[in-house]
A and B are shown apart, each in its own frame.
Chain A
Amino acid sequence: MILQSVKLKGYKKSISNFWNQYSESRMGLLGVAILLFFVLVSVFAEVLAPYPIGAREGDRGAILKPPSGKYVLGTDELGRDLLSILIHGGRVSLTIGFLATLVTAMIGTFVGVTAGYFGGKTEEILMRFTDVLLVIPGLPLMIVLASIMGATFWNIILVIGIRGWTGTARVLRAQVLSLKEKPFVESAKAIGASDARIIGRHILPNVLPLIVAQMVLRIGSSILSASSLSFLGLGDPTHLSWGMTLHYAFGVGSLFSNFYWYLVPPGVCIALVVLAFSFVGYAFDQIVNPRIRRR
């Protein structure tokens, strides 16, 4: 009990330390603000959206109408309010991005920790496999996997996750390699702790900040990957994400008929969210990465 509370205090202190450093970065704060905005809008989508989007049919009299007082961002080919679609789309895009990144973190952690901790043949095979995956161009691989597995909500998450874990695995392996030599791991080994216990008790808690940092760096590209797949028709039509909205916008010929109100907002939202994650990742890096700090 006592040990645990000490540990908790240690975490709290390091988090407040981290925040003190982090809040010095204007880019980082801006990133957090943008993300907070989009997360809040997504959470309260039902309340904020002026029209419900559940209905398949919209306003028959207002098909593909430019922005007006009634429909602030115009309407789509079914006469639905695009602002409402945008607000709900954020929820889908953020969820897909987050879950896919969670998958990358889980696979990456498993591979990286296993390779780093056990070493030898296990390490060689795992890292060789990582290298192979790194060489295969990402989007084409995701396209193939998604069209083979079928482009459902969960499959898309899985496909992005399958592609994205390599970086995390490499970083974690390196970290675990150095942790393995630390006295507290060696003493745990000496008193006969099992591998599972050492990994669960000593390795994982110590690499957790690194996993979080990796997730922040990855999540933007997960969202971008999902939108590229959607654009190519490999999105779940029952989940209207920003990427899916863009897919339909291209599909109805927005380019040639100048339906700018259909085409512009979802892209701006994707770019803003990804940018915000880049800002946060950049600020993170300034603190975590000692090489940059030195300069």
Chain B
Amino acid sequence: MGIGKVAVRRGVNAIFLICLVTIINFFLFRVMPGDPVAMMASPSITAEVRKILLHKFGLDRPLHVQFIKYIQQLSQGNMGLSFVYQRPVVELIAERLPNTILLLLSSYIITVILSIVLGLVAAWKRGGKMDISLLIFSLWMHSMPIFWLGGLLLLFFSVQLDMFPVIGISTPWLVHENIFSYISDVAYHLFLPMMTLGIGNIGGMFLITRNSLLDVFSEDYVTTARSIGLSDRTILFRNVLRNAMLPLVTVIMMRLGFIIGGAVTTETVFSWPGVGLLIYRAVMQEDYPLLQGAFLIITVSAVLANYIAEIIYGYLDPRVRYE
């Protein structure tokens, strides 16, 4: 079976998941206790206005009609209107999605690089002083609430030392002479939230890299390589890293969906204008169409990331293809 077939088969599964998630997303927001109108309008409205509102949002029709309508609108890229912003939900999310992707990817690169380097250092001398200290360090990182870590970094570096900007993604009202000054401004704003997420996510990742490297270190071919006197460097690059790549890449891709949660709180701490901050605002202001739209986008993104992970895995591991 070729890689194309794997892509198709996993693709069907991904589409199935997306459909399921869409359906769940619809019904979740319909089964909520109470009256949907009560949540979108002030409780003091008259019965007359209530009726008009119910009709306007199609909430007076039977559930299956509402569902068909929802799917129709969704297929046209319509997720409804945000109560608070009075703008299409799709627009609001589209504006902020790139910011979230920037934050997630840059922080994730930091997590991955640090975990692999530290994982190697730890696995090289298993049970040594270095291994134990790194283990405790990573468990500590894993134990801290990420938003709290972000808050402390912000308090110390931005407020006390005044080294970094306090909020946002760029300096407001600053007119940039050229694109480079804009990029450096954004990078300057990005640094702390990126480090927060990057370091905050090390805990789990480090343990996984360390363990999968340990697995390889205990393989017979590494012992053989050692016994025939190959240098540490050769063993490391030729035997260990190459064989550890496969599980690592999978885990790295699989966890991409997992780190989204940390992004919501980190964006909130740093007022980073991404989808996470949008979710926070939607929750605070009970803006349900916005919350529903943002949740759908996030789950679909997670399914897609997962799908890409499966394709890469299939590409790297021939066993998947010939199953």
Contacts and interface: CB of A to CB of B under 8 A. Distances in A.
A256 interface: yes
Contacts of A295: 126, 214, 218
Contacts of B17: 132, 135
Nearest to B154: A255
B97 interface: no
Contacts of A224: 143, 145
A144 B28 contact: yes
Interface in B227-266: 257-258, 260-262, 264-265
Contacts of B302: 135-137
A158 to B, nearest CB: 13
Nearest to B306: A135
A143 B264 contact: yes
A53 B276 CA distance: 34
A234 to B, nearest CB: 7
B130 interface: no
Interface string A127-145: 0000010011111110111
A232 B303 contact: no
A271 B140 contact: yes
Contact of B298 (A140, A234, A255): A140
A274 B143 contact: yes
Contact of A278 (B126, B143, B279, B295): B143
A114 interface: no
Contacts of B134: none
A246 interface: yes
A192 to B, nearest CB: 40
Contacts of B286: 147
How many B residues touch the partner, as a band? 35 or more
A270 interface: yes
B168 interface: no
A231 interface: yes
Interface stretch (A40-48, A180-188, A205-213, A260-268): A260-268
A166 interface: no
Interface string B157-176: 00110000010000000000
A100 B17 CA distance: 27
Contacts of A282: 139
Interface residues of A, number: 46
A141 B257 CA distance: 12
A137 B258 contact: yes
A135 B257 contact: yes
A136 B283 CA distance: 18
B88 interface: no
Contact of B261 (A135, A228, A234, A270): A228
B148 A267 contact: yes
A258 interface: yes
Given A220-B143, A224-B145, A270-B148, A263 B155 contact: yes
A55 to B, nearest CB: 27
Interface string A266-291: 11001111110011001000000000
Interface string B106-137: 00000000000000000000100000000010
A18 to B, nearest CB: 22
Which among A132, A140, A274 has the highest number of chain B CB atoms within 10 Å?
Answer: A140
A147 B143 contact: no
Given A137-B257, A137-B260, A258-B159, A132 B21 contact: yes
Which among A135, A250, A270, A272 has the highest number of chain B CB atoms within 10 Å?
Answer: A135
A233 to B, nearest CB: 6
19 contacts: A132-B21, A136-B299, A137-B261, A138-B258, A139-B264, A140-B294, A143-B295, A144-B28, A144-B291, A227-B145, A227-B148, A231-B148, A232-B264, A250-B269, A254-B155, A258-B155, A264-B152, A271-B143, A274-B143
Interface of B: 17, 20-21, 28-29, 31-33, 126, 136, 139-140, 142-149, 151-152, 154-155, 159-160, 166, 214, 218, 257-258, 260-262, 264-265, 268-269, 279-280, 283-284, 286, 291-292, 294-295, 298-299, 302-303, 306
Interface of A: 27, 132, 135-141, 143-145, 147-150, 220, 224, 227-228, 231-234, 243, 246, 250, 254-256, 258, 260, 263-264, 266-267, 270-275, 278-279, 282, 295
Q: Which 10 pairs of residues, A with B, have the shortest CB-CB distance?
A: A139-B261, A274-B143, A267-B148, A275-B143, A148-B32, A137-B260, A271-B143, A271-B144, A278-B139, A227-B145
Given A132-B21, A272-B143, 19 more contacts: A27-B136, A135-B303, A135-B306, A138-B261, A143-B291, A144-B28, A144-B291, A145-B28, A234-B283, A255-B151, A255-B166, A263-B155, A267-B148, A271-B140, A271-B143, A271-B145, A274-B143, A275-B142, A278-B139
